[in-house]
Amino acid sequence: MSIAREHELHHRRRGRNIGVGLILGALIALVFGLTLVKIGRGDFAVPQPGAAVQMQEAPNDN
């Protein structure tokens, strides 16, 4: 039995899978890069427990 030639449908499906994989990889790289930038700039800070209370106690101007 000889090796069968690949069907055209498989060729199209492989191309689509590669495209989806590249887009998914780019999205993951973008999120990872943004995370590194945010942490590196020092914006990543644990909120203080009293900060939420202070915001609630602020006077209302209405």
Asked if pLDDT for residue 56 goes beyond 60, the answer is no
Task: For residue range 32-51, list pLDDT tens digits in order.
Answer: 999 998 888 776 666 677 66
Residue-level pLDDT at 29? 98
Residue-level pLDDT at 59? 62
DSSP category for residue 42: T
The three-class DSSP label of residue 19 is: helix
| Beta carbons within 8 Å of 38's beta carbon, 6+ residues apart | 44
pTM of the entire predicted model: 0.55
Tell me how long the chain is: 62
Q: 38, 44 in Cβ contact below 8 A?
A: yes
Task: For residue range 1-28, list pLDDT tens digits in order.
Answer: 567 777 888 888 999 999 999 999 999 9
Instruction: Say which amino acid occupies 35.
Output: T
